[in-house]
């Protein structure tokens, strides 16, 4: 298979995974609705940056290290689950608080905070690097051409940031925002429960594998 064919195959598989609902979707959609469109797009870029980190680590062979030292992988899973629980608790605690929607929060720092939140959310699930490594191992040749080494991280960023930009643009529109403001407490509690459930599952899967 040519480099172009390999690249397209990997991007198609990653695209299917990106659109699957998960903590990343919850975070980006909530940021876009409750803060601003700019914050939502910043969060989308954070997701893209996190995808690039995982792609680079997979290409560098970190998965071989994680498979050799299982305790490190389990530690990362538990730490990621704890971070998701932290987000869940904050969302739940703020569910009953009224929200003043505006274009910025605390001035110019809001987009950077949204970017960082999304980046950490993306990096909180070490299973993602296993998905990347599995696809790379299945589809890449034994000797990876330089053009693919350069193109894959760029493609991953385009897929992740592109999809979550669509999510941010959709959820920052007026109707979704009005719906969120009208049902904020219920939506926040549901989002907190989802994030908490994902975090607990990640922690339990790490602890049960010991």
Does pLDDT of 11 surpass 70?
yes
pLDDT the model gives residue 104? 44
pLDDT tens per residue, range 23-48: 788 889 888 888 888 999 999 999 99
User: Do residues 174 and 32 make contact, with C-beta atoms less than 8 angstroms apart?
Assistant: no
What is the structure's pLDDT at 81?
Answer: 76
N-terminal to C-terminal alpha carbon distance within the chain: 40
Contacts of 32 (CB under 8 A, 6+ apart): 39, 40, 43, 167, 168, 169, 170, 171, 172
Q: Compute the CA torsion angle 134, 138, 142, 143 (nearest 10 deg).
A: -80
Query: CB neighbours of 92 closer than 8 A, spacing ≥ 6?
Result: 188, 189, 192, 193, 196
C-alpha dist (Å) from residue 179 to 29, 55, 172, 186: 13, 36, 11, 11
What confidence tier does 103 reach under pLDDT thresholds 50, 70, 90?
very low
Q: Report the C-alpha gap between 186 and 178 in whole angstroms.
A: 14
pLDDT tens per residue across span 115-170? 999 999 888 877 677 777 767 766 777 677 888 888 999 999 999 999 999 999 98
CA dihedral of residues 105, 108, 111, 112 (deg, nearest 10) = -120
Mean pLDDT taken over the chain? 78
pLDDT band of residue 108 (cuts 50, 70, 90) is: very low
Q: pLDDT tens across 193-204, in order?
A: 876 887 787 788
186-189 long-range CB contacts below 8 Å, 24 or more apart? Answer: 186/95, 188/30, 188/91, 188/92, 188/94, 188/95, 189/92, 189/95
Using the predicted structure, report yes or no on whether residue 106 has a pLDDT greater than 60. Answer: no
- Identify the pLDDT of residue 107: 39
Give the SS3 label for residue 94.
coil
What is the structure's pLDDT at 67?
60
């Amino acid at each position: 298979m040519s480099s172009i064919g390999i690249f397209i195959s990997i991007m198609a598989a990653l695209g299917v995974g990106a659109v699957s609902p998960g903590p990343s979707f919850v975070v980006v959609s909530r940021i876009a609705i409750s803060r601003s469109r700019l914050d939502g797009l910043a969060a989308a870029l954070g997701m893209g940056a996190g995808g690039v980190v995982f792609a680079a680590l997979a290409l560098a062979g970190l998965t071989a290290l994680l498979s050799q030292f299982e305790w490190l992988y389990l530690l990362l899973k538990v730490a990621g689950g704890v971070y998701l629980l932290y987000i869940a608790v904050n969302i739940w605690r703020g569910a009953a608080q009224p929200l003043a929607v505006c274009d910025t929060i605390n001035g110019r720092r809001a987009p950077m905070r949204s970017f960082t939140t999304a980046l950490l959310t993306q990096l909180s699930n070490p299973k993602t690097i296993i998905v990347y490594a599995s696809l790379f191992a299945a589809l890449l040749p034994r000797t990876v051409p330089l053009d693919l080494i350069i193109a894959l991280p760029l493609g991953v960023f385009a897929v992740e940031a592109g999809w979550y930009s669509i999510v941010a643009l959709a959820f920052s529109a007026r109707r979704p925002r009005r719906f969120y403001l009208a049902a904020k407490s219920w939506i926040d509690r549901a989002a907190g429960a989802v994030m908490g459930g994902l975090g607990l599952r990640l922690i339990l899967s790490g602890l049960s594998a010991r």
